[in-house]
Structure 1
Amino acid sequence: MFGRIDKSKGLLFVTHDLDHSIRLTMQNMQQEVEGLDENRLLNTPPEDLKRYLVEKFGITPITLLRDQWHADHQDVPVDVRHDPMRWIDDRTRPAMVAGERVEVRIPFEGEPELLYTKANTFNMNPPRALIEKNEIVLRYDTPADQPRDVRALVDQTLKEIEQHLGWQRPMIDAHNQNLPAAAEQAIGQRRERLLAQSQRAEALGIPIRRRADAPKTYALPTVKRKVVPTLPPATTAQFKPEPALAMELYEHILKVVQDMALVVERSPDAFKAMNEEALRQHFLVQLNGQFEGRATAETFNMAGKTDILLREGDRNVFIAECKFWKGPKAFGEAIDQLLGYATWRDGKTAILVFNRGTETSTVLTGIDTIAKAHSNFKRTNDWPHESGFRYTFHANGDKNRELILTVLVFHVPR
């Protein structure tokens, strides 16, 4: 990031310009995205690639570890030729007398090069110190006949260093805050460009549309709710685009499901005797009343015992499992079952948990614990919801083939 640095001079915070270094770091990040193999970029989940770029091009500010500092001293000859209070015949040559060297070492965390980098705010009297690995070294040589207490000098130098580090921190924080969005934009722009160039873009969306005359069935008010990293593993084999359900359609499907669940909760007598299959049929009716698609005559259909499926060709694009809560173990089996059906990249899935009689908090805790412990779990998504979670999982045998799993818990009358 900062290039080569001459550390022998002792002057800190003068060698490089932090603003220029930050701009160069952003450019290097963008160049890395542009330099990635085309198929590797397309085969790598964007979120994984973004995380790698943020880790690699983020800047770790300096933090002094004052509680770990230590000092040492030793006898050394000291050159006093520049001391005006001494009588010295020839000041052009070293005049050595017995003396003492005190060396104070202050460990630090962060990128050592920052100690040689000037912030936008600075002064014309920078501190001096030596940098050895991840330690600041303050060295004081004193003649034996003129001993002095160096503690005040140490405190003053560290105060000046902390001042310069304080000037750096807002610039570094701003860079680190902007980096994820910049990385996401760089990745997205190159992906779009590559797909457009090869005329693949149209293959990434399913021709599914919401009916213009779709009834607003059960519509209810919505309630707002530095180790150097390595590239994530990915193949450079030819990228094969796969249809993906648009996120806005996925959210609308879930909205229809939640609206139907509220009807169940508010009309307990009509639904209390229903089993999984009967409840699932009500959800299917509402979904097919809202959407139409080319995959089948009936866009949403059942397959197996508990699935709600949206298919494109011979693969499942949206899958929802309907399960009564029977404990954490059964929920883990539902995840396994879902992963067995999810075969496309960027698949959208859901598990609808019908809860009869168990404390909701107990159910939510069990769901979150089992999901995060699953071997295919990748991350929790930012999706605030009072009775559900959203996760990213990877497909069986392929960590680059991601799917979104939304889990919703509904109370079903007994």
Structure 2
Amino acid sequence: MYFNKQYFQLFGEKEFDTYEREQIVAIKDEIERESENYILNVNETEFINYITNKYVLKEPQFDYDNIFVSTYQKDIEGKYWPRRYNVYDDKFYSVDVIVYHIPFVGMSELLKYIPNPRMLWNEKVYIEEQCLCYEIISFEKEASKVKREFESFVNNLNQQLNNLLGNIRQYNDKLYSVVKSNLQSKKQKILEKNNMLAALGVPIKKADNISKTFSVPISKSKKEIVLKPSVTEKEFTPEPTLDSGIYEDIIATIYDVGKQFERLPSTYSRKEEEHLRDHFLLFLQPRYEWSATGETFNKSGKTDILIRYNNSNIFIAECKFWKGPKNYLATITQLLGYLTWRDSKAAVIIFVQNKDFSAVLKSVEETTNQHPNYLGFANKQNDSWFNYRFHINGDKNREVKVAVLLFHIPSI
């Protein structure tokens, strides 16, 4: 039993800094091994999440409440016994060995690495059945002495572990950006080699004569195991996309106008979806210039706000009154059905007449991830503005950014 144990120096085998550098090289090598078409076609966010989750370090954490002890006898050569014992150096004598088993979770491999900073301490240990095992040779057979030695071990273990956890957390915090940087660098090299653009930038820009802020006219009365993403497309084709900065500005404009609706419920509470849609257009249209045509935004049906390019939609917003989570999910389905290009953008604008606005916000947060095309939660701008990631029907690599904006316009 004794000779089968895989002993190692706790926090003493290899510098963590060296291990971190090796991990980053491994990430770069894995990305470099992917084919050109895979890199160009794969959903960037999904692939970054896949690599990040694959290389993330899971912190070791010890469960001191469930420590248990075992014992066995071991023959030790006399020259290793304390001098006070009358033994011969070249003979072996049996002695009790007390083994403390400390359960833990996380990556056992990390317990071998030397943190930076470090304390000048390590001990010989081994792993058995997800327990860190530390042995104490009980020459004197005094329980109090064994207990004191183990307490000293635990104290040093915690200090050194805290140093290591600091290194692990710094590594994990920057991991996503490291993966993203390597992926984008690989993609850029491929595009330059093939003289391609990742996407055809649609020629839209903010008008120069529009101020960063605006006021809405006031009426006379008072106005959140990961599988590797698969790719079905054989060849990458550049597709038009709306610049992310323009998209964010469009959504911010919609949000600012919608908040004005909330401040003036008497003016807007009785208006229909189509009229409220037109009010958004009143402020969107003059803020952006389309170099190809005069009209940047288009209307389609009663509630849609569109930006079209080469007869396809690159942006669409749908205005709806809140009629429950089922209708909300159906609106998202309708919205995604209008889009075909990679990296499309969209918005769901919801007018809430319910008195309990908080309940509607909670419902949106709880039900959005139930949509079959849901990829993930991006962020929450504030209590009534959520950003999500969805995919076009049948292809997870064609991502759609969807902003969900809710405005409280109770009936008066």
Q: Fold match, TM over 0.5?
A: yes
Counterpart of 1:148?
A: 142
Counterpart of 2:378?
A: 381
Counterpart of 1:187?
A: 183
Deviation at 1:338, TM superposition (A): 0.8
Report the Cα distance in structure 2 between the residues aligned to 1:261 and 1:351, rounded to whole angstroms: 12
Identity %: 30
Counterpart of 2:114?
A: 118
Query: 2:273, 2:303 within 8 Å by CA — same for their partners in 1?
Result: yes
Counterpart of 2:69?
A: 71
Q: Which one of the candidate residues 295, 299, 304 is aligned to 2:301? A: 304
Deviation at 1:60, TM superposition (A): 2.4
Q: Which one of the candidate residues 177, 186, 197 is aligned to 1:201? A: 197
Q: Does 1:250 find its partner at 2:244? A: no
Q: Which moved more, 1:255-264 or 1:52-61?
A: 255-264
Measured against aligned partners, the alpha-carbon deviations of 1:143-181 in whole angstroms (never above 9, x if no partner) come to: 6xx422222222222222222222222222211112122
Q: Which moved more, 1:74-83 or 1:192-201?
A: 74-83
Q: Which moved more, 1:206-215 or 1:361-370?
A: 206-215
Counterparts in 2 of 1:157 and 1:279: CA distance versus 1, 3 Å? closer
Deviation at 1:389, TM superposition (A): 1.4
Measured against aligned partners, the alpha-carbon deviations of 1:165-218 in whole angstroms (never above 9, x if no partner) come to: 222222222111121222222222222332233232274311122333458894
Counterpart of 1:170?
A: 166
Counterpart of 2:221?
A: none
Measured against aligned partners, the alpha-carbon deviations of 1:95-153 in whole angstroms (never above 9, x if no partner) come to: 334x433222112222222222212334554222223353222234446xx42222222
Deviation at 1:322, TM superposition (A): 1.0
Report the Cα distance in structure 1 between the residues aligned to 2:162 and 2:46, rounded to whole angstroms: 32
Report the Cα distance in structure 2 between the residues aligned to 1:270 and 1:130, rounded to whole angstroms: 73
Counterpart of 1:55?
A: 53
Counterparts in 2 of 1:295 and 1:337: CA distance versus 1, 3 Å? farther
Counterpart of 1:281?
A: 278
Deviation at 1:301, TM superposition (A): 1.6
Counterparts in 2 of 1:269 and 1:123: CA distance versus 1, 3 Å? closer
Counterparts in 2 of 1:284 and 1:122: CA distance versus 1, 3 Å? closer
Counterparts in 2 of 1:210 and 1:75: CA distance versus 1, 3 Å? closer
Query: 1:364, 1:388 within 8 Å by CA — same for their partners in 2?
Result: no
Q: Which one of the candidate residues 14, 23, 26 is aligned to 1:25? A: 23
Counterparts in 2 of 1:405 and 1:8: CA distance versus 1, 3 Å? closer
Measured against aligned partners, the alpha-carbon deviations of 1:35-83 in whole angstroms (never above 9, x if no partner) come to: 2222212222222122122222222232222122211234565554543
Q: Secondary structure at the match of 2:300?
A: coil
Measured against aligned partners, the alpha-carbon deviations of 1:270-320 in whole angstroms (never above 9, x if no partner) come to: 545432223222333433323343676533222233211111112111111
Read off the aligned partner of 1:31 and give its amino acid letter: D
Within-5 A mapping of 1:225-374:
230-235=227-232, 237-265=234-262, 271-293=268-290, 298-374=295-371
Counterpart of 2:406?
A: 409
| Structure with more strand by fraction | 2
TM-score when scaled to structure 2?
0.86
Counterpart of 2:39?
A: 41
Report the Cα distance in structure 1 between the residues aligned to 2:357 and 2:114, rounded to whole angstroms: 55
Counterparts in 2 of 1:140 and 1:203: CA distance versus 1, 3 Å? closer
Deviation at 1:348, TM superposition (A): 0.8
Q: Secondary structure at the match of 2:326?
A: helix
Query: 2:387, 2:401 within 8 Å by CA — same for their partners in 1?
Result: yes
Counterpart of 1:223?
A: none
Structure 1 residue ranges without an equivalent (≥5): 1-5, 221-226
Query: 2:72, 2:98 within 8 Å by CA — same for their partners in 1?
Result: yes
Report the Cα distance in structure 1 between the residues aligned to 2:371 and 2:378, rounded to whole angstroms: 15
Query: 2:241, 2:314 within 8 Å by CA — same for their partners in 1?
Result: yes
Q: Which moved more, 1:371-380 or 1:278-287?
A: 278-287
Deviation at 1:33, TM superposition (A): 2.2
Counterparts in 2 of 1:74 and 1:168: CA distance versus 1, 3 Å? closer
Q: Which one of the candidate residues 100, 105, 113 is aligned to 1:109? A: 105
Query: 2:8, 2:112 within 8 Å by CA — same for their partners in 1?
Result: no
Report the Cα distance in structure 1 between the residues aligned to 2:401 and 2:152, rounded to whole angstroms: 55
Read off the aligned partner of 2:142 and give its amino acid letter: R
Query: 2:121, 2:156 within 8 Å by CA — same for their partners in 1?
Result: no
RMSD of the alignment, in Å? 2.8
Query: 1:215, 1:289 within 8 Å by CA — same for their partners in 2?
Result: no
Query: 1:62, 1:110 within 8 Å by CA — same for their partners in 2?
Result: yes
Q: Secondary structure at the match of 1:302?
A: strand
Query: 1:340, 1:396 within 8 Å by CA — same for their partners in 2?
Result: yes
Deviation at 1:364, TM superposition (A): 1.6
Report the Cα distance in structure 2 between the residues aligned to 1:411 and 1:232, rounded to whole angstroms: 39
Query: 1:45, 1:400 within 8 Å by CA — same for their partners in 2?
Result: yes
Query: 1:377, 1:393 within 8 Å by CA — same for their partners in 2?
Result: yes
Query: 1:130, 1:137 within 8 Å by CA — same for their partners in 2?
Result: yes
Query: 2:77, 2:89 within 8 Å by CA — same for their partners in 1?
Result: no
